[in-house]
Structure 1
């Protein structure tokens, strides 16, 4: 579990995060949503330890990040997996080598063991047989699955996903969503997903917080988000043509 208490962060006198308190549950897909400029990226970088908060606490399984010494922080980073917005695969490495990279860096496994673990993960994300392909030889959706395999190959306790469906078509995005949720449940990971994709929210939003101007203005799940009367949330949810049609249909249903 990951707990955030009264988190503040600012730059050059401008406060970006304004007292965020939240709990991200283990074994669930926890989503952070909100419009551009709401503070999502700064929040993520604080949780990853890339930014030092001005005030507040970040607590990993009962341990406060600001109280950890350098060695413990390094250990914590080894317990984290990161799925980047644009996959961030190494172009000069094969699929297999990309997936094995964290094992080579952070474990003492022999190559045979690393191959066994990598093949097992590749099978779980439906990429069996693509071991020797280069990133440039596979599709964007396959690249994202390789990136997910690399993020979880070290069996992390915490998985962070930054806009995992960026640049993907709706069908492929749904596949990625379902894979993230699958590995979260199977490995009981605390997964935190930054997203602006309402399809993802509806697919896998088991817990959701909505940020606006650096504050949490709503929290709930994908079953409650259509029922809220919070104006900021409804404006965000129904900003796309698809969801405007859903709202019209709902209103017509109520009227009849």
Structure 2
């Protein structure tokens, strides 16, 4: 579990996060949504330790990350998987080399042991026999699956995804959403996703946190978001006529 308690963060005298508290549970997909400038990116970077809160704390299964020793921080980083926007694969390396990279960085496994683990996670994301391909030979969806394989190769406790569906067509985005949710549940990972994709919100939003102007303005599930009367959430989520119609149909059915 990740617990965020009243964190504040600013830059150059400008407050970006203004006292956000939240809990993220293992085995659940938690989504962070909000308009540009709402604080989503700073919040995610604070969770993964790239920013240090000026007030409040973030704890991982009861361990406050700002209190870690150097060795504890190294261990904690091995427990984190990250799927970057745009996948962030090494262009000159093969799929196998990309996925093996964290194992080489953080473990003392033999090459045979690393290869076994790489093959296991590639099979899990349905990319068997893609080991020797390079990113340029892969579709956007396949590249994203390689990024997911790399993120889970260390068997992480915590998985962070930054706009995982960016640049993908709607059908491929659904495949990636489902894969992330399946892996989260299968391995009981605490997963936090920054997204602007409302399809993701509706499909896999087991917990949704809506940020506005650096504050947590709303929290609930994908079912709750259909029923909410929070004006800021309604304006943001249901700006599309399609989603408005879906919401209206849902509300009519549940009257």
TM-score for both structures, normalised by structure 1: 0.96
**Given the alignment of the two structures, is residue 225 of structure 1 paired with residue 225 of structure 2, yes or no?**
yes
Cα distance in 2 for partners of 1:131, 1:174 equals 24
SS of corresponding position for 2:154:
coil
Match of 1:203 in 2: 203
Match of 2:133 in 1: 133
1:34-183 equivalent positions in 2, closer than 5 A: 34-183=34-183
Cα distance in 2 for partners of 1:242, 1:133 equals 39
TM-score for both structures, normalised by structure 2: 0.96
Cα distance in 2 for partners of 1:207, 1:41 equals 18
Tell me the number of residue pairs that the alignment of Structure 1 and Structure 2 aligns.
254
Match of 1:12 in 2: 12
SS of corresponding position for 2:224:
coil
SS of corresponding position for 1:226:
helix
Match of 2:190 in 1: 190
User: How far off its partner does 1:247 sit?
Assistant: 4.1
User: How far off its partner does 1:248 sit?
Assistant: 5.2
Deviations 1:162-203 (A, max 9, x none): 000001011100000011011111111110001111100111
1:214-253 equivalent positions in 2, closer than 5 A: 214-247=214-247, 249=249, 253=252
Cα distance in 2 for partners of 1:4, 1:177 equals 24
Deviations 1:146-169 (A, max 9, x none): 000000010001000000000101
User: How far off its partner does 1:249 sit?
Assistant: 4.7
Cα distance in 1 for partners of 2:190, 2:39 equals 21
SS of corresponding position for 2:226:
coil
Q: CA RMSD in A?
A: 1.4
Cα distance in 1 for partners of 2:161, 2:241 equals 26
SS of corresponding position for 1:164:
coil
